[in-house]
A and B are shown apart, each in its own frame.
Chain A
Amino acid sequence: MRVAKPRRLGQSLGLLLGFFGVTGIGMTHIIFPGLHCYACPWAITVCPIGLAQNLIIFGTVPYFWIGMIVAYGLAAGRGFCGWFCPFGTLNDLLSFRKVKILDAVSYSKFIVLAGTLIAAWIFVDTMFCKICPVASIEASIPYLIMGVAKVNQPFLVHMGILAGTLVGMILIARFWCRYLCPMGALLSLFNRVSFLRLKLDKNRCSGCAACATDCPMGIEPHTQYDNHNCTKCGRCVDGCHMGALSMDFSLKGSE
Chain B
Amino acid sequence: MRRAKLRQEIWVHGLSLVFFMVAFSSLPAFGQTPILEFSFETEPLAIPQADFASAWLRVTNSSVYEADDIEIALLSGPVELSPIEPIEVLDPFSDMLLEVPLSLGEDGAEGEGEALFELAYTYCIDDVCFQLIEEISLKIEMTPAVVEPTNGQIPDPVQILPAKERNAWELVFPMAVGLALIAALIAGRTFGRRWWVLVLLLVVLVAGLGYGMLLKQDQQAQSIGAVLCTSCVGIERAPREDPELSSEARTRIAAISQEVELLFFTATWCQACPYAKAMVQQVIEINPRISYRSIDVDEDRDAAKHYGIVQSGRTIVPAILRVDTGEVVFGIENLEERLIALLEESP
Residues of A within 8 A of B (CB): 21, 24-29, 31, 37-39, 41-47, 50-51, 54, 56-68, 70-71, 73-74, 103-104, 107, 110, 113-114, 117-118, 121, 124-126, 129-132, 135, 139-140, 143, 146, 148-150, 152-155, 157-158, 189-190, 192-194, 197, 226, 228, 252-255
Find out whether the CB atom of A37 lies under 8 angstroms from the CB atom of B233: yes
Structural contact, B128 and A124, CB atoms closer than 8 A:
yes
Closest partner residue, chain B, to A59 (CB atom): B29
Is B204 in the interface zone, CB < 8 Å from A?
A: yes
Instruction: Say which size band chain B's interface belongs to.
Output: 35 or more
Is B42 part of the binding interface, using a Cβ–Cβ cutoff of 8 Å? no
Contact of B192 among A26, A148, A153, A254 (CB under 8 A): A254
A139 to B331 alpha-carbon distance, docked (Å): 14
Q: Would A59 and B221 count as touching, CB distance under 8 A?
A: no
- Offer 30 A-B interface pairs, CB within 8 angstroms, sorted by A: A29-B222, A41-B311, A47-B225, A54-B224, A56-B30, A59-B29, A59-B63, A61-B174, A63-B208, A65-B208, A65-B221, A66-B181, A67-B208, A70-B208, A107-B12, A110-B19, A114-B22, A124-B30, A125-B232, A129-B233, A132-B233, A139-B233, A140-B234, A148-B330, A148-B331, A149-B235, A150-B236, A154-B231, A154-B234, A192-B188
CB contact under 8 A between A107 and B209, given known A56-B30, A130-B234? no
Residues of B within 8 A of A45 (CB): 225
Roughly how many angstroms separate A25 CA and B210 CA in the complex, as a whole number? 25
B164 within 8 A of A: no
Residues of chain B lying within 8 A (CB to CB) of residue A21: 312-313
Q: Top 3 nearest A-B pairs by Cβ distance?
A: A64-B212, A67-B208, A253-B195
Restricting to B40-97, which residues have a CB under 8 Å from any CB of A? Answer: 63
Contact yes or no, B233 A41, CB < 8 A:
no
Docked-complex contact B212 and A129, CB < 8 angstroms: no
Asked if B252 is at the interface of the complex by the 8 Å CB criterion, the answer is no
- The distance from the CB of A139 to the nearest CB of chain B, in whole angstroms, is 5
Tell me the bound Cα distance from A253 to B212 in angstroms.
27
Is B28 interfacial (CB 8 A cutoff)? yes
Is the CB–CB distance between B33 and A59 below 8 Å? yes
Are B194's CB and A253's CB within 8 A?
A: yes
- The residue on A at minimum CB distance from B34 is A59
Does B150 touch A at the CB level, under 8 Å? no
User: Which residues on A sit within 8 Å (CB–CB) of B27?
Assistant: 56, 59-62
**A65 contacts which of B196, B202, B217 (Cβ < 8 Å)?**
B217
| Chain B interfacial positions (CB closer than 8 Å to A) | 8, 11-12, 15-16, 18-19, 22-23, 26-33, 63, 125, 128, 174, 177, 181, 184-185, 188-189, 192-198, 201-202, 204-213, 215, 217-222, 224-226, 228, 230-238, 269, 271, 311-314, 316, 330-331, 333-334
Residues of chain A lying within 8 A (CB to CB) of residue B215: 63-64
A124 touching B185 in the complex, CB below 8 Å, given contacts A66-B177, A152-B237: no
Q: How far is the CA of A197 from the CA of B185 in the complex (A)?
A: 16
CA distance A104 to B8 in the complex (A): 8
In the complex the two chains form, is B189's CB within 8 Å of A126's CB? no
CA distance A61 to B11 in the complex (A): 27
The answer to whether B233 and A135 have CB atoms under 8 Å apart is: yes
In this complex, the member of B197, B212, B230, B235 whose beta carbon has the largest number of chain A beta carbons within 10 angstroms is B235
Residues of A within 8 A of B192 (CB): 192-193, 226, 254-255
- Asked if A118 and B22 make an inter-chain contact with CB atoms under 8 angstroms apart, the answer reads yes
**What residues on A are CB-neighbors of B217 within 8 Å?**
60, 62-65
> A125 vs B228: C-alpha distance in the bound complex, in angstroms?
13
Contact B30 A58 (CB under 8 A): yes
Instruction: Report if A46-B222 is in contact (Cβ < 8 Å); known contacts: A70-B201, A190-B188.
Output: yes
Shortest Cβ distance from B275 into chain A, in angstroms? Answer: 13
